[in-house]
Amino acid sequence: MSTQPAKHPNEYLDGRFVVDVLPQMIVGRTSLRTVFVSCHYVGHYMGGVVDTGKKGLHIFVMRDTQVDQCSVSNLGNSDLLVVYLDINGFDKAIQRISEIKKSHPAMKVVAVACNCGIEEKRIKIAPLMESKAVDAFVITNGCGGYRPMLDILEGLIEFWPSN
């Protein structure tokens, strides 16, 4: 008998999330305010406002930031929060996500983490998944989340309807 927790239905490998889930998260929307929070780069985006070239799609990247350092007011107007859970700040981050979601229950939260120590991470994030504080948990094969976060950002731009 395995002591490993079962995989949650809203847990995805990075590539599958962008293709299978992300389009469904935005279908029918005419406006989307998205914030990416990472202690690392999100691909080549240095931070700040991203020029999406798409009407109604607003993306802001907070780089060199842990989600536990973000105030609820900074994130509260967002419809979608995509956050990289760094191994060093994982516990504080999931606590902060829970607080943010309680204040803004309509906000969707996508948590991204590398597969290092994945079983422990699954155990810790499971209550947030069950309570719907985290809508999707994306697991990457590489540490840092640079590429998976970029794939999600570019997926939003790609799947968002043209003007």
pLDDT for 99 beyond 90: no
Mean pLDDT of 29-44: 89
Measured CA to CA, the distance from residue 146 to residue 151 in angstroms comes to 9
Measured CA to CA, the distance from residue 121 to residue 93 in angstroms comes to 12
Measured CA to CA, the distance from residue 53 to residue 63 in angstroms comes to 21
pLDDT for 125 beyond 60: yes
Domain extents for the chain? 11-159
Structure tokens at 121: 């991470």
In CATH terms, 11-159 corresponds, of 3.40.50.150, 3.40.1410.10, 3.40.50.2300, 3.30.310.220, to: 3.40.50.2300
Q: What is the pTM of this model?
A: 0.89
Query: What pLDDT band is residue 69 in, cutting at 50, 70 and 90?
Result: low
Percent of the chain with pLDDT over 90: 42
